[in-house]
Amino acid sequence: MNTFTFGALTFTVTDGGIVALTKYYGFDNTERLNNPRALAFMELDVAGGTSSGSYRMGSSLETAKLRYVRHDIKENVLTIVQKSDSFEVTSCFTRYDDTNAIRVKHLIKNISDEKVCLEAATSLRLRFGNKLEEDKNAYFFHKFNNSRYTEAHPDVRSLNDLGFQWENGTFFVSNVGNASAYLSLPQGIVENRRDGEFLMFQIESYTSWVYQIDPAFNLHLSGFNARHHSWNKYLAPGESYETATVAIAGGKTLNSVLAEMTSYRRHIKPKSKADEKLPAIYNEYMHYSWDDPNAERVKLTAPFVAKAGCKYYVVDCGWHDSKEITGPMGMYPKFGTWFEDLTRFPDGIRAVTEYVRSLGMKFGLWIGPEVVGVDNEKMLSYYGDDCFFIRNGKKIRHGTGYLLDFRNKKVYDYMSKTLDRMIDEYGCDYIKYDGCPNPGCGTELDSTSLGDGLEKAYEAFLNWTIDAMHRHPDVIFEDCYGGGNRMDYKALSIFHLISTSDQTDYLTYPYISANVAASVLPEQAAVWSYPVGIDVYNKAPGPGVNELVSKERVIMNMINSLLGRIHLASRIHLLDEEKQTLIKEGIEVYDRITPDKLKASPYLPKGYAAYGDTFVASGLKTDSRVYLALWNLKGERHIHLPLPEIKVKDIKVIYPEKMETKFTFDSSSITIDFTEDIQARFFEITL
């Protein structure tokens, strides 16, 4: 046998030429080498194969035919080559100097003389645990639920609670369609509470994916496959297919494994001079314009936004369609033309852009580039059916729109001209994408399967985006899908930042704010702050709003966004000078902590926040300090919070700095006495 190590991974090549992954992080499978095939680190299968009709992913005979050819380590990249009579599999493992995380992908090449049909191509298979009766209560799985308005919500359960009472138990989470984080995030954590080990993974997919735990304690991580995604992939002789990329990291605590994955994510995020200082953003959509922007509103609000310290002013949905069709869902069936509406902007959007720039800010616009409304007869006629996702010979309709296929040159060119016009003519320095129509499994057009069509179409869409970003390197691109339904690291390796939610209740947002750094880098996580909610505006439109908005409400809204990327919103111009000063102070604190935010990792002193918690705590940690947000949500006012894994030298309130806050601390805890039932404070802890 031959053994070699790469970072946290140890591989063993048996005398029979089978490559087994025997050790990774704190997990050791050496004793199971009597069955080395059970330790294969990836799986593939073909039509008619042994796993194609199974209700769960498992070992396939096609994988068992693979034999070791060679491996090579050059700097931080390990390459392993395996072959069978039909396939050559080149596996690439990448490690980084400042994290134990490892990135994995495979290139599967047909080396036979016949066309083959792939039905499964698992990106990573990891064996953990041993005997069901011993380990079903020792192992816990962290699933990250991501329902709309309640995004980034971890759910931690033992394998026993997940249904592993008997040998046929299986747990899987599958995503289908173009919303990569619809209902669940493409990540998870396996926790061994007996030995104190954490294994975190993420699947980097913009579309469909699946992960599974089987009763033999195998964790399978995969992009598309036949069972879950109506997918297959025909490979002619000499053709190849690259699997979805996945990443894994290990740690001894929740905070430590999150830190390792956070460091890895910084290696793959896009670099941008325009975004490197994390400029504060104002977007007038939430609790203000909604779908009804206009030039007068921008000119009224922009001076207050500039005074508050925001660097970008963004106009969201509605700039492109007439007021005549504004109403409940009124404009959505008309989407897809993407020219400025002169009834809303009589002098054109460029005039508004120049006004915003005169105040020292940059300007941005929203767009839904993937959709054409069902009633936009002009664009439907222009494109033709072959420009859209097709299933069973018909355009796939989702709600009020049809989904464009960016493999079609007519689509690619029209939407490229649209973005260029928004940037070059209208003067945008910020583009916010939004996506809503979901095609389900995919499209049959120019595809061997629906899933194959989805995969190829979204490869084209992302390439179109990358081309636009190359043409406009000084523009910031935000991704969104009805809130946080695209929080994945395929998206976040391309886009500068991403929407975390469309949650409209500032008292619910703390649960998202507290948890989201486990899933998205703080510098990429866009979080709304809307001190003047529609609830108070409807009670007293105009100047009367100020009396209904308390200082504590302003403070909590700002603290909600301090751990991420500020997206200020709402009618802040209706607030008095004292409350506007609190907004400005919050943005000043945000700007001041940016250098630390760019190198910080999540710090969860009491673990994840759960919906309904009356006390929420979350922070960001560097080597020398912790920034800690504490929220009281109608709970006990006297709170004692242990601060594990750090040694405290000093603690001070940095927002709001001048309002009284009663607290004490020692080297390992903080005790705070809130003065109100709904209240938040932001601390700086020196280590």
How high is the mean pLDDT of the chain?
A: 95
Of residues 581, 597, 605, the one with CA closest to residue 659: 581
pLDDT at 540: 93
CA distance 474 to 273: 7
For residue 665, the number of C-alpha atoms closer than 13 Å in the C-beta half-sphere is 21
Tens of pLDDT, residue by residue over 568-615, are 999 999 999 999 999 999 999 999 999 999 999 999 999 999 999 999
What type of residue is 526? A
CA distance 521 to 630: 20
51-65, 206-220, 424-438, 503-517: segment of lowest average pLDDT: 51-65
pLDDT at 528: 98
Q: Is residue 490 pLDDT above 60, yes or no? A: yes
pLDDT at 673: 98
For residue 660, the number of C-alpha atoms closer than 13 Å in the C-beta half-sphere is 5
CA distance 649 to 657: 19
Residue 232 contacts residue 118 (beta carbons within 8 Å): yes
Who contacts 392 (Cβ-Cβ below 8 Å, separation ≥6)?
444
Section 15-42 average pLDDT: 94
What residue spans define the domains of the chain?
2-268, 603-686
pLDDT at 134: 75
Helix pair angle (577-597, 551-562), 10° resolution: 20
Cα-based distances in Å from 322 to 151, 208, 213, 365: 33, 36, 51, 16
Cα-based distances in Å from 354 to 339, 360, 364, 482: 18, 10, 12, 29
Q: Strand, helix or coil at 157?
A: strand
CB-based burial label for 133 (10 Å; 0-12, 13-18, 19+): exposed
What type of residue is 451? G
DSSP state for residue 331 in the 8-state scheme: S
pLDDT at 60: 87
The dihedral through the CA atoms of 75, 63, 171, 223 has a sign that is positive
Looking up tokens 């990106």 gives 123
Section 240-252 average pLDDT: 98
Helix pair angle (450-471, 409-420), 10° resolution: 30
How many other CB atoms are found less than 10 A from the CB of residue 640?
10
DSSP state for residue 443 in the 8-state scheme: -
pLDDT at 54: 67
CA angle 496, 146, 120 (to 5 degrees): 85
- Residue 10 bridge partners (DSSP): 5, 23
CA distance 594 to 596: 5
Confidence bin at 216 (pLDDT 50/70/90): confident
Q: Is residue 461 pLDDT above 80, yes or no? A: yes
Q: Is residue 326 pLDDT above 60, yes or no? A: no
Give me 70's structure tokens: 């060679």
Section 206-212 average pLDDT: 97
Q: Is residue 129 pLDDT above 90, yes or no? A: no
Q: Which of 34-43, 134-143, 161-170, 622-631 has the highest mean pLDDT?
A: 622-631
Percent of the chain, pLDDT > 90?
91
157-166, 417-426, 518-527: segment of lowest average pLDDT: 157-166
> What is the β-pairing status of strands 525-529 and 401-403?
unpaired
Tens of pLDDT, residue by residue over 612-668, are 999 999 999 999 999 999 999 999 999 999 999 999 999 999 999 999 899 999 999
Cα-based distances in Å from 403 to 10, 363, 449: 45, 28, 17
Confidence bin at 1 (pLDDT 50/70/90): confident
Helix pair angle (295-308, 577-597), 10° resolution: 70
Q: Which fold has domain 2-268?
A: Beta-galactosidase; Chain A, domain 5 (2.70.98)
pTM beyond cutoff 0.95 = yes
Q: Is residue 295 pLDDT above 60, yes or no? A: yes
Residue 159 contacts residue 136 (beta carbons within 8 Å): yes
Q: Which fold has domain 603-686?
A: Immunoglobulin-like (2.60.40)
Who contacts 373 (Cβ-Cβ below 8 Å, separation ≥6)?
331, 332, 333, 334, 335, 336, 379, 400, 401, 402
Domains 2-268 and 603-686 share a fold: no
Of residues 185, 189, 186, the one with CA closest to residue 141: 189
CB-based burial label for 70 (10 Å; 0-12, 13-18, 19+): exposed
DSSP state for residue 335 in the 8-state scheme: -
Q: Is residue 56 pLDDT above 90, yes or no? A: no
pLDDT at 57: 78
Of residues 564, 582, 562, the one with CA closest to residue 572: 582
Confidence bin at 323 (pLDDT 50/70/90): confident
Residue 530 contacts residue 506 (beta carbons within 8 Å): yes
CA distance 89 to 292: 53
CB-based burial label for 238 (10 Å; 0-12, 13-18, 19+): exposed
Q: Is residue 166 pLDDT above 90, yes or no? A: no
CA angle 37, 161, 42 (to 5 degrees): 20
Residue 636 contacts residue 677 (beta carbons within 8 Å): no
